[in-house]
Structure 1
């Protein structure tokens, strides 16, 4: 009986305290969170990469048919395998070297892997492009996601992550629509070259919108970087 009474008292105390805690952290309106550059900038940056992904998914199989190759699935297999591998092996790399030290090269690698698709005419080239794209894309998502989590206010994190997640579907939707118009008039080569500019645009947005803040941990080589 004494134990039951004690449990009831503890429960009542917790129920009484909970409203006080939540009252201290009132989430901001959706539009306020959306306009926060710490949320909007990473969303735009990753959307620039899923924009490329949407274009590749839609038009790479058609491009490979023009040079007589019918197994474009090789590209998607290598790309997916690379994404999984780099996230297992290097998913925490930005915790050691800083967010910027991972995001900047990954955006460049993603752009290169996309641009090279305009030159590919053999399965070996597909594999190489898939590896570059998968390596860049694979590390970008966890790093940008961590950027949103650490920069968003605690009471707004759910909203911030919800906004960030729209970068996946938003980019996948816009990529085929916009790149399809370019491919129709100028061909697949210019299509992929143009698509490769999207991650470079994302890089520009990142550098201009998210200036270096607090000092990040030191890299293995002893050099300090900024997030």
Structure 2
């Protein structure tokens, strides 16, 4: 039986895969249209960057606590709680208006993302035997990208044809179905005795956790920068078809997630992650040098493949290196690094865009991605004696 067929026959994997697809769909319908929607309301690039980036700050604040909560209370409980918070955050857009209210909603959505994201990835990493964990994470992440790909592709079309609030209704319907499915059909799949855990500070200090976290920071920096500023770059160059970036991203990221298990069997995870970092850097470099419809398509495909490969690779790597009793804590650290990358790519670079232009913005992003990948390379690539860490 192939690995995919084995996973599809696992009822708990079926549930978390469908739940993930629906949840990601609901939260990403707004991703490509929010910068345009806020711009139509007269906000500046720096304000838009702050609103888009603060969701990651909200997630970052609670990531360590959510990771420990998963280790103590179980991944199913934390996943369900995160889904309920997510639905409330989407509904809040019906009453929001103005910069500060949108800023508060996005911060709250980051909190919801911290609970759901840490719970769901831990759940997915626990439904199979340890030797199959990499495949479980890869195909779980594939569902993430399918949901994101569909949402980011149709979001601008629905927004243009039916308006902003139609996206909210659709998102609420999707998250409601996902929450009901998780509540009724899932069961807890990970339970560890408290006396087998080590303190959180020892988990995050482990090299096998820090180095992948830095690498994911660079990847998410690329993604946060692109998702926030490609629509605004297109508007500044009178390019109306900015959705081609998201369509190319969607196709590439789905292909990458489908192949990442085979890629990691062909190469080791260290090599895969470094190559993916370089691909992400090439993507932002293209946008810095020559923004056009063609380069939007090419950059979207490149960052889609890079991001699609790097996250499941690094998550599976971390799971393989830590104790099952600290799995939630370790995954919360790497997720927090991704949150920081998203936040800085969106918020800090908004000021750069406003003062120095989009070319400097994307060039700066390219340098940061390369530095993050280089740190990972130096820390882990040639460490042939690396074994299970004490975390």
TM-score by length of 1: 0.79
After TM superposition, the structure 1 = structure 2 runs for residues 40-189 of structure 1, keeping only pairs within 5 Å, are: 40-189=210-359
Counterpart in the other structure of 1:196: 366
Whole-Å separation in 2 of the counterparts to 1:55 and 1:180 = 9
Unmatched tracts of structure 1, length 5 or more: 1-21, 217-227
Whole-Å separation in 1 of the counterparts to 2:370 and 2:224 = 16
Aligned partner of residue 92 in structure 1, secondary structure: helix
Instruction: Give the stretch that moved more between structures: 22-31 or 158-167.
Output: 22-31
Whole-Å separation in 2 of the counterparts to 1:91 and 1:71 = 33
Q: 1:53-85 CA deviation, whole Å, 9 max, x = no partner?
A: 111122111111122112212101211221011
Contact 2:270/2:381 (<8 A) preserved: no
Q: 1:24–1:117: structure 2 CA closer, same or farther, 3 Å change rule? A: closer
Whole-Å separation in 2 of the counterparts to 1:112 and 1:27 = 41
Contact 2:196/2:325 (<8 A) preserved: yes
Q: 1:146–1:23: structure 2 CA closer, same or farther, 3 Å change rule? A: closer
Whole-Å separation in 2 of the counterparts to 1:132 and 1:138 = 10
Contact 1:102/1:143 (<8 A) preserved: yes
Counterpart in the other structure of 2:57: none
Unmatched tracts of structure 2, length 5 or more: 1-191, 387-391
Aligned length: 196
Q: 1:120-149 CA deviation, whole Å, 9 max, x = no partner?
A: 342112111111111111110111112111
- Select 1:205's aligned residue among 375, 381, 384: 375
Q: 1:157-184 CA deviation, whole Å, 9 max, x = no partner?
A: 2211122122332221121222112222
Whole-Å separation in 2 of the counterparts to 1:121 and 1:26 = 53
Contact 1:46/1:167 (<8 A) preserved: yes
In the TM superposition, structure 1's runs of 4+ consecutive aligned residues that sit over 4 Å from their partners are 22-25
Report how far residue 23 of structure 1 moved: 6.2
TM-score by length of 2: 0.47
Whole-Å separation in 2 of the counterparts to 1:193 and 1:24 = 47
Contact 2:276/2:307 (<8 A) preserved: yes
Q: 1:10-56 CA deviation, whole Å, 9 max, x = no partner?
A: xxxxxxxxxxxx66962111111111121122112101111121111
| Coordinate RMSD, CA, aligned | 2.2
Whole-Å separation in 1 of the counterparts to 2:193 and 2:362 = 51
Report how far residue 101 of structure 1 moved: 2.2
Whole-Å separation in 2 of the counterparts to 1:187 and 1:118 = 10
